[in-house]
Amino acid sequence: MLSDSLVYVAGHRGLVGSAVWRALTAQGVEPVGWTSSELDLRDRDLTFEALLQVKPDVMVMAAARVGGILANDTAPVEFLNDNLRIQTNLFEAAHEAGVQTVVFLGSSCIYPKLAPQPIPEAALLTGPLEETNRAYAVAKIAGIEAVRSYRKQHGHRWISAMPTNLYGPGDNFDPVSSHVLPAMIRKFHEAGESVTLWGTGTPRREFLHADDAAAAILHLAEHYDGDQHVNVGCGRDVSIAELARLVAEVTGFDGDILWDTSKPDGTPRKLLDVSLLTGLGWRPRIDLRDGIASTYRWFLEHG
């Protein structure tokens, strides 16, 4: 049980890491973690020193270099190298420290651009990736393979979880590096008479609140032990145009929504098959509109 474990949350100041931290503290668990200024996980020696000193029972790997389409497309070297370094250092240090349970967090971008919908876990490596975030996806695929390899060679109870698009308190609202939903919230909040968004608005995306993702991650840590990575999502999607109208409603924007069709849409549709996760007894609780509203309130208080 997690209540009897020492849990290290790597990346506990980020969107999903902070949600995992909140969920643990709500269960009476006192997790441990370091900020990036306290511990640079790209530094192998410092990472080993930290984990060997603490020797946690459980490690949730939420630390990563993340960003939206523009950030991924313009800095693929950093997205590849930083994530590979972080993952390798954490895996090797966790092995040396004898960490019993590791939950590696990836992303739904690991799947082929034209994967079947909803996307089953078996779709991994069955086709070309979306070009705009291929470097990040390759790093996350390497993480999945690392987990499988440590399980096979050393018998570790380590697992991989692949969340869909996440949002919520603590999200990144930077206009350059943010993902689609927080970027929309900021755009609509700051808008005048119109808002211009990338693409056509037709791609469909699935969105899961970070607190639901955290609940799923901790559920897997306690109830799952398998080689297969597990999709984490809500099983429902909306078009980007529908999302825009929802964000406009929540933020009180009543101007024109324009579309810059010279900009890329990205993957046409990305909806995860979450039957493996739901078969383990987990269900999401937060409705999309309610989640956007609470995220907007957080943005107003902290943004």
CATH no. for residue 145?
Answer: 3.40.50.720
Give the range of the structural domain holding residue 47, as residue numbers without chain letter.
2-172+207-237+270-287
Is residue 195 within 8 A of residue 253, CB to CB? The reply is yes
On whether residue 295 sits in a domain, the answer given is no
pLDDT (0 to 100) of residue 265? 85
Helix axes 288-302, 180-190, angle to 10 degrees: 60
Instruction: Over range 105-125, report the average pLDDT.
Output: 96
- The tens digit of pLDDT for each residue in 190-217 reads 999 999 998 999 999 999 999 999 999 9
On whether residue 34 sits in a domain, the answer given is yes
pLDDT > 70 fraction of the chain, expressed in percent and rounded = 99
Does an H or E element contain 201, and which?
A: none
Instruction: Single out the catalytic residue among 136, 150, 167, 296.
Output: 136
With 0-12 CB in 10 A as exposed, 13-18 as middle and 19+ as buried, what is 131? middle
On whether residue 247 sits in a domain, the answer given is no
On whether residue 188 sits in a domain, the answer given is no
Unique residue bearing structure tokens 């994530």: 83
On whether residue 114 sits in a domain, the answer given is yes
With 0-12 CB in 10 A as exposed, 13-18 as middle and 19+ as buried, what is 28? exposed
pLDDT (0 to 100) of residue 296? 98
Which pLDDT band holds residue 268 (cuts at 50, 70, 90)?
A: confident
Alpha-carbon Rg for the chain in angstroms: 19
Domain count, the chain: 1
CA dihedral 181, 187, 191, 194 (to 10 degrees): -70
Name the DSSP class of 262. Answer: T
Reply yes or no on whether the pLDDT at 91 is more than 90: yes
| Residue of higher predicted confidence among 75 and 119 | 119
Collapsing DSSP to helix, strand or coil, 202 comes out as coil
On whether residue 300 sits in a domain, the answer given is no
Task: End-to-end CA distance of the chain: give it in Å, rounded.
Answer: 36
| Residue of higher predicted confidence among 113 and 234 | 234
On whether residue 42 sits in a domain, the answer given is yes
- 87-110 burial, b at 16+ Cβ within 10 Å, e below that, comes to bbbbbbbbbebebebbbbbbbbbb
Known catalytic membership, residue 136: yes
On whether residue 244 sits in a domain, the answer given is no
Reply yes or no on whether the pLDDT at 232 is more than 90: yes
Output the CA torsion sign for 301, 14, 221, 272. Answer: positive
